[in-house]
Chains A and B, each alone.
Chain A
Amino acid sequence: GQNIDQPTEMTATEGAIVQINCTYQTSGFNGLFWYQQHAGEAPTFLSYNVLDGLEEKGRFSSFLSRSKGYSYLLLKELQMKDSASYLCAYGSSNTGKLIFGQGTTLQVKP
């Protein structure tokens, strides 16, 4: 199957930390991707995990556990501009195509 799940909406406060979870089930896997998408705009690449563990990139970090089919995106020191949709996707091991979750809409409040 090609199931991938993430929360629909989250709200957090400016300056805080938020964790967006993603779970997936697939028979073929070639890494877990996170993208940010502002309304009406193109998704922009944030991070890629292919091995278990934490990848840190500035204010953003992403974690992967392949055995649990689980990933999270951690956003620190939230800014108003971080209000966006965050898309979790796994790569197909056969072709590299991305299978996306529905996205998590994050609202950052002052």
Chain B
Amino acid sequence: DSGVTQTPKHLITATGQRVTLRCSPRSGDLSVYWYQQSLDQGLQFLIQYYNGEERAKGNILERFSAQQFPDLHSELNLSSLELGDSALYFCASSVSSYNEQFFGPGTRLTVL
């Protein structure tokens, strides 16, 4: 158990819908990262927050957004869902931007 929690574990929804994925970092970790893992793309960095502020953006679609709240938990919002958005979404946290990251168990999103 890494100490990072993610909910829900599984999510099945239809194209065009919107979902919210939630992540709670390890106690004391200020940095939160979101990654997408699909079969053909491997682990892809989406976005990073540090102590409530956006720090870096990767290949994140405009239909996706995220935020980190004052209690440091983070949410990833995915809208206008497409079949290709089906993937595992991982959240990771670290003490700072320059330490190892610890991954949550992931949310498996299936878009039908």
Contact = CB atoms under 8 A, between A and B. Distances in A.
Q: Is the interface of B mostly helix, strand, loop or mixed?
A: strand
B2 to A, nearest CB: 7
Contacts of A97: 33, 45, 48, 56, 58
A98 B103 CA distance: 12
Interface string A80-107: 0000000101011011111111110000
Interface string B71-101: 0000000000000000010100010111111
A84 B29 CA distance: 27
Given A42-B105, A91-B98, A98-B35, 11 more contacts: A33-B100, A42-B104, A42-B106, A45-B100, A45-B101, A48-B100, A92-B56, A94-B56, A96-B97, A100-B35, A100-B42
Interface of B: 2, 31, 33, 35, 42-45, 48, 55-56, 58, 88, 90, 94, 96-106, 108
